[in-house]
Amino acid sequence: MSSDDLLSSLEHIAERLDFGEYEAKAYLTILEHGELTASEIAEYTDIPQPRVYDTVRSLSDSGLVELRESRPMKVLAIDPEESFSDYRDSLSTLVGGLSDRYTTPAREAEGVSLVKSRPTMLRYLTDVIESAEYELMLSLTPSLLERHADALADAHENGVAVEILLSPAEAVPDIDSFDALEIATTVRTRRGVTTPIIAIADGEYAMYATREGIQGAEDRYGVIFNRSELGFLLSGFLNTVLWTTSETVIDRPESRGFPRRYGTIRRCVAELTRMEGDYYARIEGRDVETGDYCHVEGEVVDVDSATDWTTASMVVETADGRVEVGGQVAAFEDVEAHEITIERRSGNEE
């Protein structure tokens, strides 16, 4: 469609569906009763009697009701399937034309964005979930879990490790009711209603939103971290403050095969601690002292963590000796890990 045609179609639909408060109330009331007089419409609604006639004639001009010029005048409902058929065709054509014109916004290579629109926050939440290649960490409400259940199931089926923190715990449905085993590797619950909404894909692409904001409150905001080093703040906050104050509902990392990729050393060490056998690690990160990029690989000879998982580390036997690996902003270890790949040596049992 040309620009002029698109503009004309938009204006046409906007003009025909320019419902005011009275039109909306009258239309729904007429649909409910099938046939009403003007005085009955005024009785069933709070539309002033003098405004009823203008209101129903507006609905008639839009093709949504039929007026029978009797005494008294009667207003008849028209089947919405019939009255909205031309709208459906117009909208289908219009959406097709708009889609042809649409250019997907490209995400910047690195950046932090502040958003204040609820639909935009929800769109970014969906985008983060769908972009995960190997690790997805989430702090959600039960309603958001239900909204994104299909996308989470797809991610989980594609081998993404999905960790979900749900709050408030008292509002979380029975596990069997939302097929938790089909959508997550780990599910935990947390008390209270102040836990924020967080999503982190592969330790890189992340979003944070206030619970009030994503529910539509006026004072709302969300922050998007797209390949920004500031994104580790969310990962650290979720892994320490939130994750360590929650309770496990399901936890089955053994369901995933090898090799396994991690963006979070806490999750990597937690899984290694529970598994037997010999494992080989490849770490992409940077030298703690110089800040330079480094690649480390070798046998995993030791893992360590605090009892509350606020710290975690591993020791890798490389060709040049042992290297201690920590998480982002590590200070005591030799290497700060950004991405970890673990391979299982032959002969190990699942």
3-state secondary structure of 61: helix
The CA distance from 138 to 197, in Å, is 8
pLDDT class for 222, splitting at 50, 70, 90? confident
**136 shares its domain with 245:** yes
**pLDDT at residue 349, as a whole number:** 46
What's the CATH number where 132 sits? 3.30.870.10
Domain boundary among 207, 230, 253: 253
DSSP for 5-44, please give it.
HHHHHHHHHHHHT---HHHHHHHHHHHHHSEEEHHHHHHH
- Please give the structure tokens belonging to residue 86: 């031309």
More confident residue, 76 or 117: 76
3-state secondary structure of 342: strand
Helix, strand, coil share of the chain (percent; to 5): 40, 30, 30
pTM for this model (two decimals): 0.63
Domain boundary among 76, 101, 126: 101
Backbone angles phi, psi at 329, to 5 degrees: 55, 30
Range of the domain at 310: 258-344
**158 shares its domain with 196:** yes
**237 shares its domain with 128:** yes
Range from 13-17, 78-82, 330-334 carrying the lowest mean pLDDT? 13-17
Domain boundary among 235, 253, 271: 253
CB within 8 Å of 268: residues ≥ 6 apart: 260, 262, 312, 314, 340, 342
**122 shares its domain with 235:** yes
What's the CATH number where 282 sits? 2.30.30.690
**335 shares its domain with 308:** yes
- Among the residues of the chain, which ranges form H helices? 3-16, 21-33, 38-44, 49-61, 80-83, 85-101, 118-131, 142-147, 149-157, 180-183, 211-214, 231-237, 265-274
Domain-embedded: residue 106:
no
The total number of structural domains in the chain stands at: 3
**127 shares its domain with 231:** yes
Domain-embedded: residue 349:
no
pLDDT class for 46, splitting at 50, 70, 90? confident
pLDDT tens for 329-340 read 788 899 999 899
Report yes or no: 245 and 190 within 8 Å, Cβ to Cβ: yes
- Please give the structure tokens belonging to residue 194: 């102040």
**325 shares its domain with 239:** no
pLDDT tens for 281-305 read 999 999 999 999 999 999 999 998 8
What's the CATH number where 28 sits? 1.10.10.10
Domain-embedded: residue 271:
yes
**118 shares its domain with 201:** yes
